[in-house]
Structure 1
Amino acid sequence: MSTTTATSIFLFLFSLLLTTHSKPIPHLTSPYLSPATISANYDSMVKNFKIFIYKPNPHFTYDSPVQSLFYTALLDSDLATNNTDEAHLFFLPFPPDLPTRSIARLIRTIRTDLPYWNRTLGADHFYLSCSGVGYESDRNLVELKKNSIQISCFPTPPGQLIPHKDITLPPLASPHAPTSNTTTFLGYVRSNWVNDSAIVNELRANPEFLIESEPSTPQIYAQRLSSSKFCIFEYGDGDLSGIGEALRFGCVPVVITDRPIQDLPFMDVLRWQEMALFVGRRGGAKELERVLVRACWERHDQMRRLGTAAGQHLVWNVPPRALDAFHTLVYQLWLRRHTIRYVRRETV
C-alpha cells in the first residue's frame, strides 16, 4: 500500500472517531428500486405485453449495433402483434439519417391514413433515435418529441432526453466472463473512458491507480476490471460504454460529473445511486481518492454485490434471455404503456 493511501486511510479512521452522529449505511439486498413488485410486473409483461410495429418503407438498417440488436429482437419476439386492438404500444421505425422534414411527413401520413396516432397524439408510440429529434414547430414533430417515447443511445446528446418518458439503450458489453475477484488496484481507467481529464492525469503517478494510455486486449481488459475496486468514467467528454461491464465484473463505477445524470440505462428499475459513485471535478484528484478510500470502508462490498447482481440486465444476448438488456428495456416500455383506454366506436 502506498504512503498516500495509508495516510488517507488514517485520516478517514481518525475522522470516524471524531464523528458522533454518523448515519449507518443501510443494508440492501436487492439492486431494484421496487424489489417487491418487479417479479410480478415482469411476469405480467412477458404474458401480456403486445407491440404493433409499423412496416418501414423502404427497408433500412440502424447504424448503431445496440439499435439493430433491439430492433431484430423485437421483430422476432412474441411481443410483436399484427392485431392493433390488442397492442399496448406502437413502434415507429425510421432510418437514423432521415431528415427532419421527412420524419414530419412520415407522422403526417400515419395520422392521415391510420387512426392510431390521433387517439393519443402519439403518446402510445415509441421510436429509436441516437441523435434525437429536434424541437421544430411542425405539429407532427412536436407531438413525436413531446408525447412519444424516445429510445436513445447512452449517453444521450444534451437536450435530447425528456426523463419522465424517454429511456436509453445500454451499451454493448464484453462477452468475457468475470475472472479473479482479487483486487489489486483502488481505481482503474481505460484509455477511452476519459478525455484528457485533469483529475485522471494527477492520478497517473499514484500506484494505487491503473491508468491506461493505450487500448488493452479484451482478455487484459477483463482481468483489469476484475482486479480493480473502482472503475473511473467521465460523463460528457469520456466514453461510458464500459459502465455495464464494470458492474458485471464487480468494479464499482465512479462517474466524474458536475451535473445530475438523467439518462443512465434502466433508471426506473435499478438503484444506480447504490451501485455507483458520482463525484464532482472541483475537489480534484485528492478529493476523488478520499471518496474512494471512504467508500472502501463504508459501502464498497455492498455496492459491488448489488452491481454484480444488476449486471445481467446490461448484457445483450442473441437470442435474448430473461431479464437481459432487451427484456429489461421492454420492461421499461411496459411501465410506460399508455394507461388511457379509449371507448371503441360501436358500429351500427
Structure 2
Amino acid sequence: MIGQKKKRGVEGVEEDLAQARAAINEAIRMRRHGREDRFIPRGSIYRNSYAFHQSHIEMVKRFKVWTYREGEQPLVHAGPFKDIYAIEGQFIAEMESETNPFMASHPDEAHTFFIPISVANIVDFVYMPITNYSRDQLQNVVSDYISVVANKYPYWNRSNGADHFMVSCHDWGPDVSSGNPQFFKNFIRVLCNANTSESFQPGRDVPMPQFYGPAHRLASPNYGQPPNNRPILAFFAGGAHGEIREMLLDHWKGKDNEVIVHEYLPKGQNYTKLMGQSKFCLCPSGFEVASPRVVEAIYAGCIPVIISNNYVLPLSDVFDWSQFSVSVSVDKIPEIKTILQAIPDWKYLKMQKRVRGLLRHFLLDRPSRPFDVIHMILHSVWLRRLNFKLPT
C-alpha cells in the first residue's frame, strides 16, 4: 500500500528477507535472470545462475550489516593489507568504510552483525614471537569481545549468534570458537582455512578465497597467454610446507620438462609469467588447506589443480568448481601428468574459457563493486542469513 511505513526491528528485517526469498524462488521457478544488472551470470560455472543472479540483486537492494564499534585497534577494526592474509584486512576496512553501501545506519535494521576482529593481528600483537602455540589467548580475546557486545546489545542473545559473523584468513581462524563450542555453535565463520577436519561446517561457515596482497599487486590480471600459447603442461613453485607439498616435490621437483615443479624458482625466472604460460597450475595445500595459488591461477587464466584433503573450495555455494578446475587426490600425486594429459583439448579449452569468465568474481576492488570478491563473500553470508528466521 502506498504510504505504508516499513516495519522496524525483527519484524521488518524478517519481512524484508521473506520478500527476497520469494523473488529468488520465483527466478528459479521461471528460469529467469533478473533485469536490474548490466552483467548477467550465465554458464556452467554457476550451480544455478538464476538463483545466484536474483539473490545478488536482492542482496544489493536490501542487505544491511551492522559492524560493532566497540574496541580499539590493532586487535579489532584493522587487519593486514599485504602478504597471504590480505583479504582479512581488506574486508574489515571495506565494511568500516563510509562508502560501504551495506552499512546499517542502526543495528535494528541490520540483517547480520559483523565482529570486526582480526585473528592475524591478534597473533602478531599477542603471540609474537610465538613461544606458545596454545589458542587460549586467541579464544579469550574473541570470547571477551562478544561478551561485551552481547551484554550491551540484545542482538547476539536473540539469535544465539546465528546472524553474527567474522572473517579470518589466518591458519588459526577455525580455532576461535573451539574453546567454547556451545557458545559459538551458530556463529558464522568466514574462513580461508576451510578445513572440514578442523571443525569447518559448510552449511554454516563460509569458505573464503585467499589472496597474496597488497591489492595493487592484483590490479592487472592480464599476464595470461591465450590457450594456444601455453607450452607448459603444469607448473608449481613453492616451499615444502606440509606433507602434501613434500610429496609433490619428492615426485616432481626437477624431474620433468612438462610438469615443472620448483621449490625455489631459479634466478631470472618470473613466477607470474610462468603461470601465464601454463595450462594447469598446481595448487597443493601447505600446512593448512588454503592457498593463494588458486586465485593466482584464475588471474593467470590457468586451470587450478586442487591437491588437498578436506578443503571446501572458495565460494562453492555459488560456483561448481568441477567445471573449471581439476581435483587430484593426494595419493594420486605420482599420476598428475597422466591425469592432465588425459584431458582432451576440447575439454581443456572449455575449462580455460570458464576460468577467464570467473575472473570478475575474484577481483579485489576498493571500494567494492557488484559481483567482485568482497560482494561475493558478503553474498555467501547473505545466503546463510536467508536460511533461517528470527522469532517475531
Task: Return the TM-score normalized by structure 1.
Answer: 0.80
Gaps of 5+ in 2: 1-41, 123-136, 213-217
Q: Is the 8 A contact 2:235 2:260 kept in 1?
A: yes
Structure 2 distance, partners of 1:216, 1:66, is 29
Gaps of 5+ in 1: 1-27, 344-348
Structure 2 distance, partners of 1:326, 1:127, is 14
Matching residue within 46, 59, 71 for 2:92: 71
* 2:293 counterpart letter in structure 1: G
SS at match of 2:305: strand
Structure 1 distance, partners of 2:266, 2:153, is 52
Q: Is the 8 A contact 2:196 2:310 kept in 1?
A: no
In the other structure, the counterpart of 1:136 is: 179
Query: How much does 1:219 deviate?
Result: 8.9
Alignment of 1:46-195 (within 5 A): 46-60=60-74, 61-63=78-80, 64-76=85-97, 77-96=100-119, 97=122, 99-129=138-168, 130=170, 131=172, 132=174, 133-137=176-180, 142-144=182-184, 146-154=185-193, 158-172=197-211, 174-176=218-220, 177-181=222-226, 182-192=229-239
Query: How much does 1:248 deviate?
Result: 2.8
The 1:279–1:298 alpha-carbon spacing in structure 2 relative to 1, beyond 3 Å, is farther
Query: How much does 1:42 deviate?
Result: 0.8
* 1:143 counterpart letter in structure 2: F
Query: How much does 1:30 deviate?
Result: 3.2
The 1:268–1:219 alpha-carbon spacing in structure 2 relative to 1, beyond 3 Å, is farther
SS at match of 1:266: coil
Q: Render the CA deviation track for 1:22-69: whole Å, top value 9, x for unaligned.
A: xxxxxx933111112222211111111000111131232224321110
In the other structure, the counterpart of 1:41 is: 55
SS at match of 1:170: coil
The 1:193–1:185 alpha-carbon spacing in structure 2 relative to 1, beyond 3 Å, is farther
Q: Is the 8 A contact 1:172 1:315 kept in 2?
A: no
Q: Render the CA deviation track for 1:264-319: whole Å, top value 9, x for unaligned.
A: 2101011112211111233442x211110112446212221112211221221222
Q: Render the CA deviation track for 1:55-113: whole Å, top value 9, x for unaligned.
A: 13123222432111001111221101132222110112235226423433333332222
Provide the identity percentage: 23
Larger Rg: 1
Q: Is the 8 A contact 1:155 1:240 kept in 2?
A: no
The 1:134–1:39 alpha-carbon spacing in structure 2 relative to 1, beyond 3 Å, is closer
Q: Is the 8 A contact 1:56 1:94 kept in 2?
A: no
Query: How much does 1:135 deviate?
Result: 2.4
SS at match of 1:299: helix
Q: Render the CA deviation track for 1:212-252: whole Å, top value 9, x for unaligned.
A: 34247999223212211111121244872111121232211
SS at match of 1:322: coil
* 2:43 counterpart letter in structure 1: T
The 1:218–1:35 alpha-carbon spacing in structure 2 relative to 1, beyond 3 Å, is farther
* 1:208 counterpart letter in structure 2: E
* 2:154 counterpart letter in structure 1: P
Matching residue within 369, 374, 378 for 1:321: 369
The 1:121–1:241 alpha-carbon spacing in structure 2 relative to 1, beyond 3 Å, is same
Q: What's the Cα RMSD here?
A: 2.7
Structure 2 distance, partners of 1:223, 1:49, is 40
SS at match of 1:282: helix
Query: How much does 1:160 deviate?
Result: 4.1
Matching residue within 283, 291, 298 for 1:247: 298
Task: Return the TM-score normalized by structure 2.
Answer: 0.71
Q: Is the 8 A contact 1:188 1:228 kept in 2?
A: yes
Number of residue pairs the alignment of both structures matches? 309
Query: How much does 1:189 deviate?
Result: 0.9
